[in-house]
Amino acid sequence: MLRNPHPLRQQGWGGCQLVLISIFNNKGGVGKTTYMFHIAHLLERKGKIVLMVDCDIQCNLTAYVLQDNQIEHSWKEKGNSIWRVIELVYEGIGDIRERSPSKINSKCSNLYLVPGDLLLSDYENKLSKTWDSATSGNTSELRVQSAIYR
């Protein structure tokens, strides 16, 4: 999704092994986001470069770590929210945008966030609608299905 995000690349991201961690539970309100937040900080303290990606349209993780004005900025046309990254794929007029993630704060120099966005709900609808044709080999729908993680 964020190919060669600039600050990460400067720190040798290209040579690192990428480990993807997803927190899943089908029940609501059981602590998924809170757990994710703490795991990310613990890993950063252990010397890892950590990128959090908020794919939840509630944007709770984003609200935990960014100020309101930073969130609003990320939602703007030139912003770096998850929606702004995949927007052109959703519209069917382009591919994913390369936008640098937000740095959390000066105390966590290796912790980054792709901010969540309410508009991602539109993409969720499109994901369900394009599944059948994507699995039948439709390339533009495959692009939609794989926009978040390739």
Ligand X SMILES: Nc1ncnc2c1ncn2[C@@H]1O[C@H](COP(=O)(O)OP(=O)(O)OP(=O)(O)O)[C@@H](O)[C@H]1O
Pick one of Mg ion, ligand X, none as the site partner of residue 14 (Cβ within 5 to 8 A by kind): none
CA-to-CA dists, residue 92 to 58, 83, 140, angstroms: 25, 14, 8
| Range in contact with ligand X (rule: CB under 6 A) among 5-13, 27-35, 95-103, 134-142 | 27-35
The CA distance from 62 to 36, in Å, is 12
**Concatenated DSSP letters for 36-86?**
HHHHHHHHHHTT--EEEE---TT-HHHHHHS-HHHHHHHHSTT--SHHHHH
C-beta of 56 vs 122, nearer to ligand X: 56
Site track for ligand X across 30-59, x = CB under 6 A: xxxxx---------------------x-x-
**CB of 145 vs ligand X, minimal distance in Å:** 23
Residues of this chain that bind ligand X (CB under 6 A): 28-34, 56, 58, 60
